[in-house]
């Protein structure tokens, strides 16, 4: 069974400080990346687990976590239904290379939610 969540992001203002905190607190090593100009520190998933990242992209920490829901193989169809369901597409389908495609939406309550598809 696939997980409903594919990815998560925790927004930070000081990536070095936040990375040190999580590495120390969790006893892990995080991989640093610059993803399209956005600095990140990656929580590496196990073979079947869900990964995530600390992200420094200007969004204010403490406002919540960006969760990416599984839309594998149906991202276009899901995005096509967002407006009719009362939501808004914030970031249209975006190619992120080998991991596939992402999009972000705003739901009827004002929450921003990510969608991910491998194809």
CATH architecture of 71-119: Roll (3.10)
Mean pLDDT value of segment 15-28? 90
CB-facing half-sphere around the CA of 59: CA atoms within 13 A: 16
The token pair at 111 is 């929450």
pTM: 0.74
Mean pLDDT value of segment 48-73? 87
CATH architecture of 7-64: 2-Layer Sandwich (3.30)
Can you give the pLDDT at residue 48? 76
Can you give the pLDDT at residue 60? 83
Specify whether the CB–CB gap between 41 and 51 falls below 8 A: no
Can you give the pLDDT at residue 25? 81
Can you give the pLDDT at residue 75? 95
Can you give the pLDDT at residue 54? 92
For the chain, which residues make up each domain, given as ranges? 7-64, 71-119
DSSP type of residue 119: -
Least confident piece of the model among 48-52, 70-74, 101-105: 48-52
Collapsing DSSP states into helix, strand and coil, what is residue 35?
Answer: strand
Percentage above 70 pLDDT, the chain: 99
Give residue-wise pLDDT tens across range 40-59. 999 988 777 888 999 999 88
């Amino acid at each position: 069974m696939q997980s409903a969540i594919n990815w998560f992001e925790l927004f930070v203002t000081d990536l070095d400080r936040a990375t040190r905190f999580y590495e120390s607190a969790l006893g892990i090593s995080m991989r640093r990346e610059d993803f399209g100009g956005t600095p990140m520190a990656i929580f590496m998933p196990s073979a079947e687990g869900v990964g995530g990242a600390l992200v420094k992209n200007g969004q204010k920490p403490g406002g919540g976590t960006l969760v990416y829901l599984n839309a594998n193989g149906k991202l276009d169809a899901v995005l096509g239904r967002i407006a009719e369901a009362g939501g808004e597409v914030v970031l249209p389908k975006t190619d992120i290379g080998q991991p596939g495609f992402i999009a972000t939406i705003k739901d009827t309550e004002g929450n921003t939610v990510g969608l991910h598809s491998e194809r």
